Amino acid sequence: MIIGIVGGRLQGMEVVYLCRHAGYTSLVIDKDSKAPALSLADRREVCDILNEPERARELFSKCDAVIPALEELEVLEFLSRIVPECGVPLLFDIDAYRISSSKELSNRLMERIGTPVPLPWPECGFPIIVKPSSQSGSVGVSAVRNEEERQKALRIVEKLNDIPIQQEFVSGKSVSIEVIGNGEVCRSFVTTEVVLDSNYDCKQVVCEDHVLPPKDEAQFVKIGKELGENIGLNGIMDVEAIYTKKGLRVLEIDARIPSQTPACICAATGINLLEELVCARLGTEPRSEHHSGCAIYEHYIIRGDAIYTCGEKEFAYVQEPCYLEDFWGADEVITDFRTGRYEWRATVICTGATYQDALWKKKQFIRNVMDNCELEEYIDRTPEMM
């Protein structure tokens, strides 16, 4: 099976990884010849699909399914028109995406169906989070402790020509769950813990049994299913929440293939969300064998005499990465390491039967990198406000 992947950056790298583990052939299409997923793919094409529509049609017609791995609305709308005309399934729901890509619209949805969410400003008081309605990830997000910082955060959102969302700053474990739907019925999958760097960008994902207590896990599964079915999801989305002392508080939903969490889930459990998505669309059964286990997925940058943990935005600068197994003690690595290179990046996956097993491998990897590259420091930064 050939999966056409439109977009060769972080999400594209994620889908290539999932293709590899599902036994699918990956075809990455990107207009940038230096997009990092191109060097990981089985097949690659440099194509600006908006300006080369006939060539795009030709490429899509050779695929068994196409999935967007980007968040440019013009491209997503183009794919939603053109791919079905080629007689090929598009693994994406543009209508659900329009709702989820607006925090204003998705907050209204969650309020309507009773999803537990952070309190709005000014009802909540400080500290708060100020974020743009339509940006992805941590773009334009500010943690705010007073009125002066709030005004500064509002100006940041204004420069993005976006609408500010102001909510209670909730502290606790950051968690995510993926949901797949067929337009009518949705299924929630595995909860993961998402660990942030000092810029509130994801640097690590942990997948293990009991990320949440059983009662809260059941609630999160229900929340994901309800949200998916209320937007008529015909594709995949993730639900992000904070597990506070008072329970779950849902932050946002994103109706597109996530980066980071699917790879971690696949490594820990054998559940391949791309395969699940393909089978949901085609009405077939997944072939992957599922199991219980743990995986730690983490981004690193090696610069000078130190190894740093880093968020996905920093890792995105990786150049011509390759996929390696059993690299310096880690099970799987995506990296642009070259002998003698002053600066390089790596996404590292360590697995085990338990969290402690995976953590031991992670520590061994760090020690091996420091020894082999003669590094002096390991630096792991965390957010100022947690």
Report residue 11's pLDDT band, with 50, 70 and 90 as the boundaries. Answer: very high
Q: For residues 92 and 67, is the Cβ–Cβ distance under 8 A?
A: yes
315 vs 162, more confident: 315
On average, the pLDDT of the chain sits at 94
- For residue 257, the model assigns a pLDDT of 95
What is the pTM assigned to this prediction? Answer: 0.92
Segment 289-303 mean pLDDT: 96
Q: Which of 203, 204, 209 is nearest to 191 (CA)?
A: 209
Confidence band for 385, pLDDT divided at 50, 70 and 90 = low
Q: What is the per-residue pLDDT for 295?
A: 98
What pLDDT sits at residue 135?
72
Token duo for residue 173: 């474990």
Q: What is the mean pLDDT of residues 297-306?
A: 96
The answer to whether the bond into 127 is cis (omega within 30° of 0) is: yes
Q: What integer is the mean pLDDT of 254-262?
A: 95
Structure tokens belonging to residue 202: 């994801």
E strands, the chain, are: 2-6, 25-30, 43-46, 65-68, 128-132, 142-144, 164-168, 173-181, 186-196, 202-207, 236-244, 247-254, 294-303, 306-309, 322-327, 330-335, 343-352, 377-379
Strands 247-254, 164-168: pairing kind: unpaired
Whether 35 has a pLDDT exceeding 90, the answer reads yes
Q: Which amino acid is residue 26, in one-letter code?
A: S
Residue percentage of the chain with pLDDT more than 70: 98
pLDDT at 22: 97
User: What Å distances lie between residue 53 and 93, 225, 283, 306, CA to CA?
Assistant: 21, 36, 29, 46
pLDDT digits (tens, 9 = 90+) for 304-356: 999 999 999 999 999 999 999 999 999 999 999 998 888 999 999 999 999 99
Average pLDDT over residues 355-376: 97
The tens digit of pLDDT for each residue in 41-88 reads 999 999 999 999 999 999 999 999 999 999 999 999 999 999 999 999
- High-pLDDT (> 90) share of the chain, %: 80
Q: What is the pLDDT of residue 250?
A: 96
- Report helix, strand or coil for 382: coil
Q: Quick: pLDDT tens for 94-129.
A: 999 999 988 889 989 999 999 999 888 888 888 988
